[in-house]
Structure 1
Amino acid sequence: MTKLSVNINKIATLRNSRGGDVPNVVQFARDVQGFGAEGITIHPRPDERHIRYQDAYDLKPEVYTEYNIEGNPIAKFIDMVLEVRPTQVTLVPDAVDAITSNAGWDTIKHKDFLVEVIQEFKSNGIRTSIFVDPDLHQIEGAKETGTDRIELYTEAYAHKFSRGNREAIKPYMECAGLANTLQLGINAGHDLSLENIQFFKENITGLLEVSIGHALIAESLYLGAENVIKMYLDKLK
């Protein structure tokens, strides 16, 4: 079964909009794990506009499933990850002013940098994943960095699927096939939802983990977090 990791950035966004500590991100992480989620994902950015770096430390003793920290490996981010030691670090090439992640790594152009960073994390017992576009050359490049896994950037799939285009899954199937051949673990994330997750799961061989935040939180406003998590888990079976 593919693991469901819940990205809780939007809970922090809501908290920060009023100051104070409501909703409490640590309590929300406890709750969603209790509802059956198999992981917690956070993505702190330099301006700390949603998840704050302190949240990463506060969550560490409360995440008893898998703890995944995403981000651009600037010096501050690297230091924090090495101190927190999550289960997994997912490297994302975000620009400082990016609203949300909008591209995968050029694993060929940035090979030397990625090799250095990945070696540092792996030597400290942290599993590594690289955020990549569904491009076969980038999958081959990812293998050369020494990463444990890739995370397929699924925005293009989600957008086309919403318009009825089931052919949008094909590049992801091809990349998953290559990743499996290269013995790279496969994660996926970005704009996955209750609408499109089951079709994606059914067609991606070896899918180990999906990280879902924005859609899951939005769906929970209508259906409740516990119900939504159980619906995702059912679709991921």
Structure 2
Amino acid sequence: MTIPARAMLLALQHGDSAFPSGGFAFSQGLEAASQLQGHLGPFDLETFIRGQIRHRWARADCVAMIRSHRLGGDLVATMELDLEIEASTPAEPLRLGSRRNGVALLTAHGRLATPQVSAYRSLVRAGRAPGHMAVVQGLAWRGIGLDEATTITVSGYQCVMALATAAVRLGIVGAIEAQAIVGRSLPLVEEIAAEDIGDDDRLSSFVPLAEIAVLLHGRSEQRLFSN
């Protein structure tokens, strides 16, 4: 299948780290897990990234995003999905990080006049919805014309790159080694992208060590990332 040039350019624009989505401040537990090896066991970056992709992104973020995409701008149903994410994310730092990223993405797309985004941003600002990142991605990326397959690809790529970039900033690996790990991790995103997602698939995530690390990380006064 040939991807139209317009769709590819949109994917590159909105998947780029320069797009103001706010995600640079969060490491999804990577910083804490790498620093708490004495408490949580050995840390391996590639294993951490693959675990996050398979056991968190694939069955939680990706499912929520595609369900949001399929709602087609039904804001009432979108709010219900948003609250489902809120209820299914027990670790407060991850919950707050998702909401902050979502609000940042809503703000950016609101200024770009992406359809439905300003209306949903008003609901979030009124406290009627939390504005989680995956929900906003599905809503906004459908609004700019990205199809489901491209939406999944952009989201998975961002997840891998955000973790790899965080590792470089923390000095865990160098830039070249990070790119090698990214190259070995992206086929997993491709594999997951080929899996079916049902309209009523429930959200599930199982990364207990990362969540424990995030909670312990919240007590530290010396940290680079918020989670």
Normalized against structure 1, the TM-score is what? 0.30
Between structures 1 and 2, the one with greater helix share: 2
Between structures 1 and 2, the one with greater strand share: 1
> Relative contact order, CA 8 A, sep 6+: which one is greater?
2
Normalized against structure 2, the TM-score is what? 0.31
